[in-house]
Structure 1
């Protein structure tokens, strides 16, 4: 112990300071107090950076620190998000034998006959906006909600603790699988800590109970299996990721070159054989996804689920970048909010970008493919009308397997979006949103310029040799 203290004195002090900061964040912070939030957020990011910088070869030390930071939140009620109240509601409805996709919390409350404990408290916690819409959380997320209901169907804190344990276990899985994938790609394995130790991940996922942690676990697992050649099992696991949150569906086109154009060692590429494997992969993914939905399927489910999904594109606005510029231009030209029109067009632009990345960018190797995934999902977010902070978990997780680090920068600047809570009526500060994206876009442009410069240097060096 004394020897550990002697050689890791500074790092141990950083961990202790980090534990104090996370404790204050979990149990003392009110989300309207942005000054305290940015102080804790900034301090934790400094600790995060210094811990990785000082301990690149000490993965056990960093892993223990990451686990301890998460355990701080074990008995905390989330203070930056209300979504977990809806998670608890859905899980308890399932436990009572009700399909959560077919009814609205506000209707149960209005009728006064909700079949679950603490219904009024849960409805108040989730808010009228959440309670007035049908749930849009896919089946594997619902399974997690059901597990919490089984173990804690009368306690909100108990349910939150069950969620938290599930999310921590998912992060443990992401750590080990991500480390193995990095080693297979011959990338330094300590890069996994850019995700696992990131304060944004610890606060937004472990702290605020967003199930992106489980989605990322399945996504990284699927990528590892695919890299090792087990594409059939990769299809099943990738489907599980989609069935936690639908967002990985965006990546389906990007697998094309990995299957069809990749040339194995000492073998010529066989596009037809690759195309058949790709088709098999897609069939496995889509079949598995459908099977997870089977227990809930009905005509009413399809109507409710698609209606709720469409609302995110055509009704809700939060922390957008390019869309806010389009909205401003719309006000100048037509005099009203153009979200309904933009919400239909921008997804088509996103699909076009994904197809360009699929067919006109070199994506044969696993790192190239993952890089295309990072660029694709970030393009989607840059064009979205709504970008909640926890959405960034996916590009942040994927970027550790690439040369890009702008998602790490974004995971810090996303805190500026929380200035919306300063206003009693939840009003966004567009200057802070602009600052968030100016920093992100600036760093992205710098990274692209730097990488192109390195490629040019490599070409010139090779030519001179």
Structure 2
């Protein structure tokens, strides 16, 4: 990944040293990718490779790279519709567009089924994928669900399903904006993964790694601060979950006997509390930057 950024990536007004520093010094990369060894690192490496190949007009090899990213972890699937639309809209010849689309689709389907055959009985593998959608934890949608279910359990049941539907609507809007050339591939991919993280039913602290390929290849004030501060926030969230509650709030007299006593448990208290600042801190840099010098923030890499 570092080699790709240092030697193969190209950006206007952003040196490869700056891009590499953004990647290598990101707290998520240092602690979650290198420290805990999450396979997101392999996934985003192939996504980065695919994006670089796409920028160099090597669309066939880009489709192979994106497919391998999907085989490592399914969230990589989000980039494929955007990539597919790019193949169908970037050529003046209808025949060329259809040929590229069919070849890329064939590459994806062929590699997907070939490699999934080695992962066990195919129905069991697919069932595992389906089961993953039922996970619930530590996301804004789940935090809202936790709060509402204390007062209206029936209404709370609809929250998680509706936030998932909301994501699909936003994703379709992103695709439309991409086709209208209002967004680049990197911008559309960044927004797709950002909304996926915010509107998912479940969240893990290493999920913001998904944003890095799109940020590091399109480094600007927004992508820099959103990804960097998100990485900082999720690391400090562990302090909230594992230290603040277990060492202090769990035994706090005001909590155990005060007005919140009926709700004083780990999930009901800590999920809304921690999610509220973990998912708002990433936008703090943007607010401060625009307040101090909006013109510089929007046109340069404001650090």
TM-score range, shorter chain: 0.7 to 0.9
**Cα gap change, 1:349 to 1:444, in 2 (>3 Å):** farther
2:2 paired residue among 171, 175, 185: 175
Provide the C-alpha distance between the structure 2 equivalents of 1:287 and 1:300, rounded to a whole number of angstroms.
17
SS at match of 2:90: coil
TM-superposed CA distance for 1:449, in Å, is: 9.3
Alignment root-mean-square deviation, CA: 3.3
TM-superposed CA distance for 1:215, in Å, is: 0.9
Alignment of 1:316-465 (within 5 A): 316-318=136-138, 320-325=139-144, 327-329=146-148, 331-332=150-151, 334-335=152-153, 338-339=156-157, 341-361=158-178, 368-402=184-218, 403=220, 404-405=223-224, 406-418=226-238, 419-422=240-243, 423-424=245-246, 427=267, 428=270, 430-443=272-285
Question: How big is each residue's C-alpha offset from its partner over 1:174-224, in whole Å with a ceiling of 9 and x where there is no partner?
Answer: 111123443266632121221122222111111112111111111111111
**Cα gap change, 1:279 to 1:322, in 2 (>3 Å):** same
The match for 2:62 is 234
Could you say which structure has the larger radius of gyration? 1
Residue ranges of structure 2 left out of the alignment (5+ in a row): 247-264
Work out whether residues 257 and 364 of structure 1, in 8 Å CA contact, stay in contact via their aligned partners in 2: no
Provide the C-alpha distance between the structure 2 equivalents of 1:379 and 1:449, rounded to a whole number of angstroms.
24
**Cα gap change, 1:307 to 1:359, in 2 (>3 Å):** closer
Provide the C-alpha distance between the structure 2 equivalents of 1:456 and 1:436, rounded to a whole number of angstroms.
24
Provide the C-alpha distance between the structure 1 equivalents of 2:43 and 2:200, rounded to a whole number of angstroms.
20
Provide the C-alpha distance between the structure 1 equivalents of 2:12 and 2:110, rounded to a whole number of angstroms.
30
Provide the C-alpha distance between the structure 2 equivalents of 1:400 and 1:451, rounded to a whole number of angstroms.
23
Residue ranges of structure 1 left out of the alignment (5+ in a row): 1-173, 264-268, 458-465
TM-superposed CA distance for 1:321, in Å, is: 2.0
Work out whether residues 258 and 364 of structure 1, in 8 Å CA contact, stay in contact via their aligned partners in 2: no
TM-score for both structures, normalised by structure 2: 0.77
TM-superposed CA distance for 1:387, in Å, is: 1.4
TM-superposed CA distance for 1:445, in Å, is: 6.0
1:288 paired residue among 107, 111, 121: 111
TM-score for both structures, normalised by structure 1: 0.52
**Cα gap change, 1:456 to 1:176, in 2 (>3 Å):** closer
SS at match of 2:203: coil
TM-superposed CA distance for 1:302, in Å, is: 4.0
**Cα gap change, 1:278 to 1:180, in 2 (>3 Å):** farther
The match for 1:310 is 133
Work out whether residues 350 and 383 of structure 1, in 8 Å CA contact, stay in contact via their aligned partners in 2: yes
TM-superposed CA distance for 1:282, in Å, is: 2.3
Work out whether residues 50 and 66 of structure 2, in 8 Å CA contact, stay in contact via their aligned partners in 1: yes
2:20 paired residue among 180, 185, 192: 192
Is 1:214 aligned to 2:42, yes or no?
Answer: yes
Provide the C-alpha distance between the structure 2 equivalents of 1:181 and 1:357, rounded to a whole number of angstroms.
27
Provide the C-alpha distance between the structure 2 equivalents of 1:194 and 1:455, rounded to a whole number of angstroms.
17
The match for 2:262 is none
Question: How big is each residue's C-alpha offset from its partner over 1:299-352, in whole Å with a ceiling of 9 and x where there is no partner?
Answer: 65146413531322xxx212x1244235534544x335835x433333332222
**Cα gap change, 1:303 to 1:358, in 2 (>3 Å):** closer
Provide the C-alpha distance between the structure 1 equivalents of 2:93 and 2:296, rounded to a whole number of angstroms.
32
Work out whether residues 237 and 274 of structure 2, in 8 Å CA contact, stay in contact via their aligned partners in 1: yes
**Cα gap change, 1:299 to 1:189, in 2 (>3 Å):** closer
Q: Which has the higher contact order (CA 8 A, sep 6+)?
A: 2
Provide the C-alpha distance between the structure 1 equivalents of 2:128 and 2:69, rounded to a whole number of angstroms.
18
Provide the C-alpha distance between the structure 2 equivalents of 1:182 and 1:393, rounded to a whole number of angstroms.
18
Alignment of 1:66-105 (within 5 A): none
Provide the C-alpha distance between the structure 2 equivalents of 1:384 and 1:447, rounded to a whole number of angstroms.
28
Provide the C-alpha distance between the structure 2 equivalents of 1:383 and 1:302, rounded to a whole number of angstroms.
25
**Cα gap change, 1:326 to 1:200, in 2 (>3 Å):** same
